[in-house]
A and B are shown apart, each in its own frame.
Chain A
Amino acid sequence: MAGWPAETKYIGHSTLRIDAPEKVSGRARYSSDIQAEGWLYGMILRSKWPAAKITGINLDKALAVPGIKAAITVQDGERTVRFYGEELAAVAGMTKQACLDALRAIVVQAKALDFVVNETEGLKSDSAQVWEGSPNASNPKPREKGDVDTAFNECAAVSEGFYHTPVQIHNPMETAGSTISWTDDGITAWVSTQGIFGSRDALASSLKVDQDKVRVLCDFMGGGFGAKFPPILESVLAARLSKETNAPVRLMLTRFDQALAVGNRPSSFQKIKIGATADGMLHAFDLDNYGTGGIGSGGSSAGGGSGVMLAMPYIYEVPNSRVKQAVVNINAGAARAFRAPGHPPTSFGMESAMDDLAAKLGIDPVEFRLKNDPGEIRQREYKAGIERFGWKDKYKKPGSSPGVVKTGIGCAGAAWPAGGANRRTQGEAQINPDGTIEVRLGVQDLGTGTKTVIAVVAAEILGLKPEQISVKVGDTRFPPGPGSGGSTTCASISPTVYDVCSKALEQIQTQTGVADARGANWFDACKKLGVNPLVVHGQWQAGMSSDHACGVQFAEVDVDTETGLVTVKKICCVQDCGLIVNKNTLESQINGGIIMGMGYALYEERVMDDLSGVVLNPNFETYKVSGIADVPDIDILLINMPERGVIGIGEPATVPTAAAIGNAVFNAIGVRVGSLPITPAKVLAALGKVPAPTKS
């Protein structure tokens, strides 16, 4: 690409994460660690009804609890709540204990309403309605191409299957929330957010405060995965409490709350019929899918990116297809964008169907993909992966592995269309006469390594070392950066920092007369600045980044056919993401995407109770995520494509993992477990080993 240097010292190599020392020493302060002068503890009261008309909320007893300084309702007057956990009121007090006591002292008058928390039930015409007067399910017209019914008759092999993915909870290690101070001077908010400017906008508009009086800070934050975008009702409540008490209020969600109200990945119930001609070419595809985004569709508390709709057929071009998808509302928290919205369930359905069809055709699944995958990059990635993973040596026909513990392999691909950049990203650098430099961007680092990328690019352009660059992010007083979503951050900030530093060099050189101020000349050149530092502003430049990342993954599993336990032995990932900026933080991102994808494949599932309407597993005990003992050997082959400029990686890497694992399980045991998570219970059921319920 035009801008990026061909020979690099830091770009494309590995620089240690620059904020690692602060994190490992406990010095890093997250929103939940801020101890502003006189701060109070805040807590939210949530609806214990999955649906109810709230007729009154009495805060008197709560206000009388010793240590409590304020109590507010979310909304005055009568209102209808539509999911277990919907916010009703909030309190602020001197201690956590006072707040806990206060919540229990709030008296809520409510009339319970009918509710539904099951997607399949919600489809029925006699189901309780989530939104009065509206059917729970949308009824869209199918999207058709060619003549799918005729086409199926022309197929040499047809596979019909049912594939299901559950609602997944983001569950970052730091829950959502903030520490907020609202005084006459304005609002200062330390928000655990994926977008400081989005948060600022949400606070300003919700609280009717001028934007220039709202400052959002986010230096360290404990993960997001999509959950930490507006609406940020918990922060709005914290701000209101702060105003009322004239003190800063720290209000973080509990882990229990985190599963109820700040988003999730929609479920999918996919009936897929897929057919190919005798030469192994895909010919017909029919999808009937529904899923839930909670109350999301049309709901007032929905976050963006509901993602119920699947981009089908995924990756492969099928000449004849019919796709019909419905969104089903249920009385549960609204969906929000969750790491590659829509793609993991899409990949799981499509790639599982591909392997099921390949088995019917008697063809190797990788060969089948090479025949049908139109993506040039993925074609090469598959071929490289086949070698590296040892596919041909490992491959056995489905179910032919001998013994009680069967091994199997599977693969799947991704086609992530986004990435790209926020073109309005800006940045600035302050260069001091002593040669120190501070680069400032209004962006946030979710743990992805954003701060380090800034240091790496700056160092590269200026001929300095990354440790010589002081990086400051996470302040809305800095030039605006992107919200961290869509895997766009790296592609937004890298060209911006390039521009800032290029302009800085130009200006130093012009002002000081030093021809080349880089590297060894830097300090002498800066000295010539005199007393005043140089502050240089820059912005995102076109031509240095692009979008679309692919990636393919191969999985090797063991399945104990007596106990149903699945063990992932190895994942091999062949991944492109354009220009590699910082290798070691990039690899960590890929590891993370794979491990999260494995959790989706084997452990994660939000469980709703049909009778009571509650979330049954709002905790880490029974909402299970991948642990250190579950993690497989992960082997990554990075495909360097500097000619494509900077592209993001956060999401592509998590897309095909569950599909690859599901296919590996199918290959091992010869029968399909089409429902995630693939638990021992489901494996045993697929093997026909589970006795039917006893007739009572």
Chain B
Amino acid sequence: MKEQDKDGLIGSFSRRTFLKSLGTTAVTVAAARTQAVAAELEKANAEKVIGPGAVPVTLRVNGDTLKLMLEPRVTLLDALRNYSSLTGSKEGCDRATCGACTVMVDDVPIYSCQKLAIEMQGKNITTVEGLAKSGTLSNVQQAFVDRDALMCGYCTPGFVMSVTALLRKNPHPTMDDVKHACAGNICRCGTQPRVMEAAMQAAGVLPKTAGLSKTEIIDYGRLAS
């Protein structure tokens, strides 16, 4: 979708128009056809020098197709947050140090802030919005809710993606596996202990215990003085 705005800017995409057309319902294209289109695009474009101005970029995100006009320097995170309505992935640092931008590419968790959108064509990208498309929270998401593994929530999509990716690869992780998988996600509110519990609940190691907390409460009057 090309738009020439009043500055005569060909190729730059008017966010206003984009949002009007896309809204919150994404255009769905059959998987095979999009892959084929992307592959053709890549073959046609391979070795062809494109940019630095905006060029057509097709991304397959959560099973839907995003057709965007992006400069090559636009990161995948930027494309998701600022050129589509997928704001679930967060920008915490834009320097591949905090994990708030974590998405899955073909089931593999990566930092979307340190990947160019243009090189992600033809791949299956999953963002946090893609985990509960039908409206029902995924097993991992529900475990986060049950175990209060979130507070302000800004790091949460990233952690959810990392834990989801872990369980897809290793359905029976140890606590150390969870730490290893989530070491690249930073939380400032201090949800880490409960993220670990949520991961173990989602893995079936800890029981589903909505709202249970192991902290003991004791009345002041019963304390020895």
- A residues near B (Cβ < 8 Å) are 12, 14-17, 19-30, 32-33, 35, 37-39, 41, 66-67, 94-97, 171-174, 220-223, 225, 252, 254-255, 376-377, 379-381, 383-384, 446-449, 576, 580, 583-585, 587-589, 591-596, 619-621, 625-629, 631, 634, 636-641, 643
Contacts and interface: CB of A to CB of B under 8 A. Distances in A.
Chain B interface mostly helix, strand, loop or mixed? Answer: loop
A24 B137 contact: yes
Contacts of B131: 25
Nearest to A636: B215
Contacts of A95: 12, 71, 74, 82
B77 to A, nearest CB: 10
Given A67-B9, A619-B93, A640 B186 contact: no
B148 A173 contact: no
Contacts of B141: 21, 24-25
B26 interface: no
A173 B225 contact: no
B87 interface: yes
Contacts of B223: 380-381, 383-384, 639
B145 A174 contact: no
Given A16-B146, A94-B9, 11 more contacts: A30-B87, A95-B74, A255-B98, A379-B225, A380-B223, A383-B223, A589-B151, A619-B95, A620-B92, A638-B218, A639-B217
Contacts of A447: 150-154, 189
A389 B73 CA distance: 54
A639 B187 CA distance: 27
Interface in B199-225: 210-213, 215-220, 223-225
Contacts of A254: 94
Nearest to A39: B15
A641 B220 contact: yes
A307 to B, nearest CB: 19
Contacts of B95: 255, 619-621
Interface string B111-125: 000000000000000
Contact of B15 (A38, A636, A637, A643): A38
19 contacts: A12-B217, A14-B213, A17-B148, A20-B150, A24-B156, A25-B137, A39-B15, A96-B74, A172-B188, A173-B155, A174-B90, A223-B188, A381-B223, A384-B218, A580-B217, A591-B190, A638-B215, A639-B223, A641-B219
A87 B1 CA distance: 37
Interface of B: 5, 7, 9, 12, 14-16, 19, 71, 73-74, 78, 81-82, 85-95, 97-98, 100, 127-129, 131-132, 137, 141, 144-146, 148, 150-157, 160, 178-180, 182-183, 185-196, 210-213, 215-220, 223-225
Contacts of A17: 145, 148, 150
A13 to B, nearest CB: 8
A32 B188 contact: no
A636 B192 CA distance: 15
A381 B225 CA distance: 9
B209 to A, nearest CB: 10
Nearest to B8: A66
Given A39-B15, A173-B98, A638-B215, A625 B150 contact: no
**What 3 A-B pairs have minimum CB-CB distances, sorted nearest first?**
A26-B88, A447-B152, A592-B190
A620 B145 contact: no
Contacts of A636: 215-216
A639 B220 CA distance: 6
Contacts of A38: 15-16
Nearest to A448: B151
B98 A620 contact: yes
A648 B153 CA distance: 21
A589 to B, nearest CB: 8
B90 A32 contact: yes
Nearest to A225: B188
A35 B19 contact: yes
A255 B93 contact: yes
Contact of B152 (A221, A376, A594, A619): A221
Nearest to B84: A35
Nearest to B190: A592
A631 B183 CA distance: 11
A395 B219 CA distance: 27
B144 A24 contact: yes
A630 to B, nearest CB: 8
Nearest to B154: A222
A354 B198 CA distance: 39
A489 to B, nearest CB: 14
Which of B78, B98, B145, B151 counts the most chain A CB atoms within 10 A?
A: B151
Contacts of A621: 95, 97
Contact of A380 (B100, B189, B215, B225): B225
A447 B217 CA distance: 23
A222 B179 contact: no
A174 B150 CA distance: 14
A594 B195 contact: no
Which of A12, A17, A26 counts the most chain B CB atoms within 10 A?
A: A26
Contacts of B129: 25-27
Contacts of B86: 26
Contacts of B179: 628-629
Contacts of A255: 92-95, 98
Contact of A14 (B156, B195, B211): B211
A30 B151 CA distance: 13
Contacts of A39: 15
B218 A20 contact: no
Contacts of A593: 190
B183 A629 contact: yes
A603 to B, nearest CB: 12
Contacts of A15: 211
A638 B216 CA distance: 6
Given A15-B211, A26-B157, A67 B220 contact: no
Contacts of A35: 15, 19, 85, 87
Contact of A97 (B71, B93, B190): B71
A515 B178 CA distance: 54
A384 B132 CA distance: 45
A620 B98 CA distance: 7
Contacts of B156: 23-24
Contact of A66 (B7, B74, B92): B7
Contacts of B153: 19-20, 22-24, 28, 220, 222, 447
Nearest to B212: A14
B215 A587 contact: yes
Given A38-B15, A641-B220, A592 B160 contact: no
B218 A383 contact: no
Nearest to A388: B216
A24 B145 contact: yes
Contact of A637 (B71, B88, B218): B218
Contact of B90 (A222, A381, A576, A585): A222
Nearest to B182: A628
A638 B131 CA distance: 36
A97 B74 contact: yes
Nearest to B82: A96
A37 B19 contact: yes
A446 B210 CA distance: 22
B217 A595 contact: no
Contact of A20 (B144, B154, B180, B215): B144
Contacts of A32: 87, 90-91
A16 B210 contact: yes
Contact of B186 (A25, A67, A173): A173
Given A39-B15, A97-B71, A222-B152, A631 B193 contact: yes
Contacts of A66: 7, 9, 12
A628 B157 contact: no
A16 B92 CA distance: 26
